[in-house]
Structure 1
Amino acid sequence: MKKEDGWVAECTFGTIFQMLNIGIRIKKDSKAEEFKILKGNLIIENMLDLTDLDICKSVSLLWDFLKNKLIKDHPELENSLNKAESGKKLNLIFLHIETYKLNYEVIKCAARYPKTPKSNLFEYHFDGNKNNFCEVTTENKIIYNAKTEKCLFEFSEEIIEV
Structure 2
Amino acid sequence: MKYISKIILLFIVLAISSCNEEYLETAPTDQLGADEVLSTIVNQRAALEGIHRYMYGSGGAQDEAGGYGDHMINYDFLGQDVVNPQRGSGWFIAVHQWLEHRSNTSSLVNQTYNFYYTIIVNANNIINSIDNVEGSADEKNNIKGQAYFYRAFGHFMLVQLYA
Give the alignment's TM-score, normalised by structure 2: 0.26
Q: Which protein, 1 or 2, shows the higher relative CO under an 8 Å CA cutoff with sep ≥ 6?
A: 1
Which is higher, the Rg of structure 1 or of structure 2? Answer: 2
**Normalized per residue, which structure has more strand?**
1
Give the alignment's TM-score, normalised by structure 1: 0.27
**Normalized per residue, which structure has more helix?**
2
